[in-house]
Amino acid sequence: MNSARDGIDKILFSKEEIQLRVEELGRQITKDFAEEDLVVVGILKGAGIFMCDLIREIDMPVRIDFMAVSSYGNAKESSGEIRIIKDLQQDVRGSVVLLVEDIVETGLTLSYLKEMMAERGAKDVRICTLLDKPEKRKKEVQIDYCGFTVGDVFIVGYGIDYAKHYRNLPYIAALKQD
């Protein structure tokens, strides 16, 4: 019988470790934005699970929204141009936007979205990512909140896929290389 964990090499961050770190991030965000009109924006699909856990650790009134994006054809690597599949359903003018990602690699997606939010009149745009893979960076982007920094290994679980699978693993794991 197939299992959700077929192909997994090893667990990098357990369910419990993730939970503790998400609680810490939520506490910090609550403290930092207590006086602000905060819109928390999850970037689908990868950030969906992290977003749902994180917002329940933010103890203040917030608005939430989601965007879905994909790279523009094959041009993402060179231009960083991103296609919007699903846009926000609310105005962010004058609000602080917190973009929530599962992982930052080249930094192209978030640089693009950050600029887009600023152009739409957000008062400030901040970034929270569960994972940061700095070795892959092509464009510098300021990460304000980061769960864990990882090396250049293929990661799956807790929202992150490989060939559309593994998003439902409750932990973050490295995939077998073969």
Q: Residue numbers of the site for ligand PRP (CB under 6 A)?
A: 43, 45-47, 101-109, 161
Mention every residue, 6+ apart, whose C-beta is less than 8 A from residue 171. 11, 12, 13, 14, 15, 18, 157, 158
Which is closer to ligand PRP, CB of 40 or CB of 43? Answer: 43
Nearest residue relative to ligand PRP (C-beta) = 46
Task: Work out how close the CB of 103 gets to ligand PRP at its nearest, in angstroms, rounded to a whole number.
Answer: 5
Q: Do 174 and 150 meet the contact criterion of CB atoms below 8 Å apart?
A: no
Task: Work out how close the CB of 130 gets to ligand PRP at its nearest, in angstroms, rounded to a whole number.
Answer: 10
Task: Work out how close the CB of 94 gets to ligand PRP at its nearest, in angstroms, rounded to a whole number.
Answer: 26
Q: Do 155 and 18 meet the contact criterion of CB atoms below 8 Å apart?
A: no
Which is closer to ligand PRP, CB of 33 or CB of 50? Answer: 50
Which is closer to ligand PRP, CB of 40 or CB of 47? Answer: 47
Residue at 51: amino acid letter: M
* Cα 102 from Cα 166, distance rounded (Å): 14
Residue at 90: amino acid letter: Q
Residue 56 sits at φ, ψ, to 5 deg, of: -80, -5
Task: Work out how close the CB of 29 gets to ligand PRP at its nearest, in angstroms, rounded to a whole number.
Answer: 19
Residue at 98: amino acid letter: L
Task: Work out how close the CB of 1 gets to ligand PRP at its nearest, in angstroms, rounded to a whole number.
Answer: 26
Which is closer to ligand PRP, CB of 93 or CB of 164? Answer: 164
Which is closer to ligand PRP, CB of 96 or CB of 99? Answer: 99
